[in-house]
Chain A
Amino acid sequence: METDNWRRNKRVFFAVSVPQLTWLLIFFIIPLAAVFIISFSEKRGIIGHELVWDWKNYIRAIEPIYLSIFAKTLLTSTAVTVICLLVGYPVALAISFAPRWLKLALLFAVTVPFWINGLIRTYALIAVFRTRGILNFTLEWFWSIGASVLAWFGIEVGSYQDLQFLYTNVAATAGIVYVFIPFMILPLYAVMERFDKSYLEAALDLGAGHWRTFFTVLLPLTTPGIISGCIIVFVPSLGVFFIADLLGGTDSLLIGNVIERQFLGANNWPFGAALSFLLMYLTFAALILYSIVNKKSKKIGGVDV
């Protein structure tokens, strides 16, 4: 059966795609067009705006103060993506190698938190990070064990001082990582599950070390999972605002927070719309840059993935 030749069955193709296209039109194209138009409007009155077709909002959006917030947001999202990858890759690998019953349990453990609203999970993290919270209690416990061991050798270390986690950029970044990490693990797992494990045995049998096997066999063959994982972590993490609001410190303002404030507190929809579109263009630029770099490195490496 010819499955890919849709041109022969244009009507069928059209009929089948109508629901999706309608969906996209109503919930994506039209709202996006509306926001695009608003970004060329001017704020009038308290919550009103009028279309004037000028670049004022965009010119304001590239003032140094907003550019610095964009830069900080990009940096945070990059850090989040890298951490998600470093933590998620071994986890996904472990799941794919686990026996069947454990595999299901582990996948379940990764996806269950995913069923709970991100806001609720972020609130739960407050109890973990706060001064007299779970993390500090745990560290205190380890400290007291360590101290009693050291006391045997006659070394006094004093009592445990609570560390400040909540309301720092560390907590904000950790919170974003926590909310997004399933998006990294699942695509990686999907690729690793299909990956033929006998390649690893072959490489090891033929004398490649563990590191070499990892970098020349496993890593190149799981690259598609890494790419899709990175994209679906990086792109949405650019727009988060509630995590930085709840866990972040006094300077954890991200561009998502600024945009949210324009649409709510400041009631300046045109400026918020311009910032949103700028963020979108930045995302596209990052993705295009990535695909160019990726193509080049493919040619150099000579590995077809």
Chain B
Amino acid sequence: MKKITATLVCSLLLAQSPVYAAEQLYLYNWTDYTSPELIKKFEAETGIEVVLDTYDSNETLLAKLKSGGGNYDIIVPSHNFVSILVEEELLQPVNISNMKSFSNINSQWKNPPWDAGNRYTVPWQLGSTAFTVNTDVYSGDINSYKVLFTPPPELQGEIGMFNSSDEVVGMALAYLGYPTCSEDNAQMKEVRDLLIAQKPHVKVYNSDGIKDRLVSGETHMHMNWNGYSIRAREEIPALQYAYPREGLITWVDNLAVPKGAQNPENAKKFIEFFMHPENAALQSNFAGYDSGNKNAVTYLDEDKKTAPELNVPEGQKLVFSESCSQAALALRDKVWTEIKK
């Protein structure tokens, strides 16, 4: 028995620490969000083997880091979670602004409010959350949240909304002209009434399989991200992405190195590598989002260069999603339960 236990323990230990393996980089990214070509190129250029693991929400990422698990070298938190991670002392400073290829980054994304001086982060992909409409079904003006929340008869009963309280409630708040986090009971009551009034016209609350539902005609209007909307339009040209004049909800996902990273040097190499325009473009061509890299555009696929989902119209009002206070979160969860019950 002892012998068996010993063997088991040994094999477990071996499985955990691949002694003979070459240099490695543990990348922890959102699902379906990492260009395989980018990884292949990085591995070929540096000889570092990339191990990819994925998550589906900032909360999952935060919980995993907080519980001390993972030993990841690179993580990709959204902008509104960067300050939280810094505050919780879960990131290590890598001073990205000192890196050579940093000069490629668009000045708009240098020194952002969530990471002064780019001590911890640099954009990975940035994009927006709005909605996609089948313009064969509804030919009116789609550039207002009004179409989504008080839909015209053609779209009633054909709507897909995300199944996440932060994005749905945040968008309703943006439509009503409030900040995307609210602790105000009266404002949140308005949100609740708006969403309950919208609900009979909603077919499904689901954040997966959006493209599938739009292309198969299961829904004719769906909350969507701009990059995903490209994929839908490529199959059916009438699937157009809306630019709501009340304010387009914008987000930036960032590369960062967590404390406790096993290979921080490899992580820095990866960040340096990614800020080269041709590499950033590889990722954008895969996922369909902007990389915040001003020189990447030359390397973009032709259809991405001209994609309306990637070219925000001149003068479009932008709204940055925030990280909500605990009171706002509690209120949001309550409203969401009331809507979905």
Q: Interface on chain A toward B: helix, strand, loop, or mixed SS?
A: loop
Instruction: Encode A165-184 as 1/0 by CB contact (under 8 A) with B.
Output: 01100000000000000000
A132 contact set on B, CB distance < 8 A: 216-217
B 149-171 contacts with A by CB, 8 A: 163-166
CB of B48 closer than 8 Å to a CB of A: no
A 236-255 contacts with B by CB, 8 A: 245-246, 249-251, 253
Most buried by A among B59, B88, B209, B341: B341
A265 touches B62 (CB 8 A): no
A72 contact set on B, CB distance < 8 A: 341
Q: How far is the CA of A65 from the CA of B206 in the complex (A)?
A: 22
A246 touches B206 (CB 8 A): yes
B57 touches A265 (CB 8 A): yes
A253 with B337, Cβ < 8 A, contacts A131-B218, A264-B57 known: yes
Give chain B nearest CB distance to A257 CB in angstroms.
Answer: 8
Q: How far is the CA of A43 from the CA of B206 in the complex (A)?
A: 27
Chain B interface, number of residues (Cβ within 8 angstroms) = 31
B 127-173 contacts with A by CB, 8 A: 163-166
A46 with B57, Cβ < 8 A, contacts A68-B341, A167-B204, A245-B163 known: no
A131 touches B217 (CB 8 A): yes
CB of B205 closer than 8 Å to a CB of A: yes
A130 touches B216 (CB 8 A): yes
Which of B63, B88, B204, B209 is close to A250, meaning CB atoms less than 8 Å apart? B204
A250 with B203, Cβ < 8 A, contacts A132-B216, A264-B57 known: yes
A250 touches B338 (CB 8 A): no
Which of B62, B203, B205 is close to A47, meaning CB atoms less than 8 Å apart? B62
Q: How far is the CA of A66 from the CA of B338 in the complex (A)?
A: 9
Which chain B residue lies CB-closest to A66? B337
Which chain B residue lies CB-closest to A246? B206
Q: How far is the CA of A261 from the CA of B57 in the complex (A)?
A: 12
B74 contact set on A, CB distance < 8 A: none
Which chain B residue lies CB-closest to A68? B341
Q: How far is the CA of A42 from the CA of B40 in the complex (A)?
A: 46
A267 touches B218 (CB 8 A): no
CB of B60 closer than 8 Å to a CB of A: yes
B 16-64 contacts with A by CB, 8 A: 57, 59-60, 62-63
Q: How far is the CA of A167 from the CA of B205 in the complex (A)?
A: 9
Chain A interface, number of residues (Cβ within 8 angstroms) = 31
Give chain A nearest CB distance to B86 CB in angstroms.
Answer: 13
Give chain A nearest CB distance to B49 CB in angstroms.
Answer: 29
CB of A218 closer than 8 Å to a CB of B: no
B199 contact set on A, CB distance < 8 A: 250-251
CB of B84 closer than 8 Å to a CB of A: yes
Give chain B nearest CB distance to A169 CB in angstroms.
Answer: 13
B209 contact set on A, CB distance < 8 A: 126
CB of A302 closer than 8 Å to a CB of B: no
CB of A258 closer than 8 Å to a CB of B: yes
Give chain B nearest CB distance to A119 CB in angstroms.
Answer: 11
CB of B100 closer than 8 Å to a CB of A: no
Give chain A nearest CB distance to B188 CB in angstroms.
Answer: 15
Give chain B nearest CB distance to A92 CB in angstroms.
Answer: 35
CB of A81 closer than 8 Å to a CB of B: no
A250 touches B57 (CB 8 A): no
B206 touches A251 (CB 8 A): no
A47 touches B333 (CB 8 A): no
CB of A268 closer than 8 Å to a CB of B: yes
A43 with B326, Cβ < 8 A, contacts A167-B203, A265-B57, A266-B165 known: yes
15 contacts between A and B (CB under 8 A): A46-B326, A47-B59, A47-B62, A47-B66, A65-B337, A69-B337, A130-B216, A131-B216, A166-B204, A166-B218, A261-B333, A265-B59, A265-B164, A266-B333, A267-B62
Listed in ascending order, the chain A residues whose CB lies under 8 Å from chain B are 43, 45-48, 65-66, 68-69, 72, 126, 130-132, 166-167, 245-246, 249-251, 253, 257-258, 261-262, 264-268
Additional pairs, 15, CB under 8 Å, beyond known A46-B62, A249-B203: A45-B326, A47-B62, A65-B338, A65-B341, A66-B337, A130-B216, A253-B337, A258-B337, A261-B165, A261-B336, A264-B60, A265-B57, A265-B59, A265-B165, A266-B333
Listed in ascending order, the chain B residues whose CB lies under 8 Å from chain A are 57, 59-60, 62-63, 66, 84, 88, 163-166, 199, 202-206, 209, 216-218, 326, 329-330, 333, 336-338, 340-341
By Cβ-Cβ distance, the 8 closest A-B pairs, closest first, are A253-B340, A167-B204, A266-B333, A250-B202, A267-B59, A253-B341, A167-B203, A47-B63
